[in-house]
């Protein structure tokens, strides 16, 4: 599979969270070219502000692997990870992160990563690549908030 195929899976997971009136974000963890863990946003359902799609897959993987490190895993998510999720991704030692939509734009994401790296002691920072099926991922989020507000 390629990045777009993995992102399509994330999009289908985001649509599941949207049906539950959650912000539509989906995430998967891939190891050796196989999707091993998948989740979507569920803070409302779980009454847990940390239940973002990325945190959910990291928790599942760590429990299953019986390890808090996920070396050689690749994370895919429909939306640029927030600072909380970036912290968890770094602590888990995830190798690479591919995401679809930027929260604002590529430059702001780059500045967020630079700020995080400069102002926090971190042993590991994965390679981040954004913009995978960006238009599709972005439209899911935009449409969700337009319906909520309108």
| Secondary element (H or E) of residue 36 | strand 34-40
Active-site positions read 54
pLDDT digit string, tens, across residues 22-81: 999 999 999 999 999 999 999 999 999 999 999 999 999 999 999 999 999 999 999 999
pLDDT digit string, tens, across residues 82-99: 989 999 999 999 999 999
Edge-to-edge order in the sheet of strand 127-129 = 34-40, 26-31, 74-79, 96-101, 127-129
Under DSSP, the state recorded for 23 is: -
Please give the span between the terminal C-alpha atoms of the chain, in angstroms, as a whole number: 38
pTM: 0.95
Return the SS3 of 133. Answer: coil
């Amino acid at each position: 599979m390629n990045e777009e195929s993995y992102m399509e899976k994330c999009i289908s997971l985001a649509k599941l969270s949207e049906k539950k009136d959650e912000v539509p974000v989906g995430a998967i963890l891939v190891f050796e070219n196989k999707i091993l863990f998948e989740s979507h946003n569920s803070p409302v359902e779980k009454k847990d502000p940390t239940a973002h799609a990325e945190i959910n897959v990291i928790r599942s993987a760590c429990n299953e692997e019986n390890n808090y490190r996920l070396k050689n895993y690749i994370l895919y998510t429909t939306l640029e990870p927030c600072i909380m999720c970036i912290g968890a991704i770094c602590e888990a030692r995830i190798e690479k992160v591919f995401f679809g939509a930027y929260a604002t734009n590529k430059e702001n994401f780059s500045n967020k990563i630079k700020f995080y790296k400069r102002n926090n002691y971190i042993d590991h920072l994965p390679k981040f690549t954004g913009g995978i099926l960006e238009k599709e991922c972005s439209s899911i989020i935009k449409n969700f908030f337009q319906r909520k507000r309108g």
